Amino acid sequence: MDRPNRDPLKHREIGFRDPHPDPQQAHSAVLVLADVAGIVAASIPDRDRNVIHVSYDLNLICLRVIEELLFELGFHLDNSLISKLKRALYYYTEENELENLCNNRDQDHSTRDVFMRCYGCKAHGCRDERPEYWRKYL
């Protein structure tokens, strides 16, 4: 039996809610998601709404990982009833699609890279300003 060719490219909408210290959560989220492996595009469709559109390759990353990443970084995701229902449906269908494809992917690697990039950009006292060749002598 011939299986239909499923498109691994998914297009989803992620909503944010107020109040939040960053009044432009959508813009900040687009900047964070721009460098994540598997994210093809992230954009803000309407400046009046606090929503982003995300296109991603399901073989590399799924909606659950994207939303968990945003939540861990402090973004306030929309938790209205309709958003929760959509989210649950997307999670379920993506998990089933991946199970049917027997696709094993390493999401921990891409998530870890995002957190490392964000940590490196923050101002903190854990930076060694010495050149690399001096670090081993002290």
Domain boundaries, the chain: 9-135
| Topology annotation, domain 9-135 | Alpha-Beta Plaits (3.30.70)
Sheet containing 39-43, strands listed edge to edge, beginning at the edge strand earlier in sequence: 9-15, 51-57, 39-43
- 50-65 confidence digits (pLDDT tens): 899 999 998 889 999 9
Residue 58 is given by DSSP the state T
Assess contact for 16 and 51: CB atoms under 8 A: yes
- 63-74 confidence digits (pLDDT tens): 999 999 999 988
Q: How confident is the model at residue 93 (pLDDT cuts 50, 70, 90)?
A: very high
Angle at 24 between CA 62 and CA 42, to 5 degrees: 30
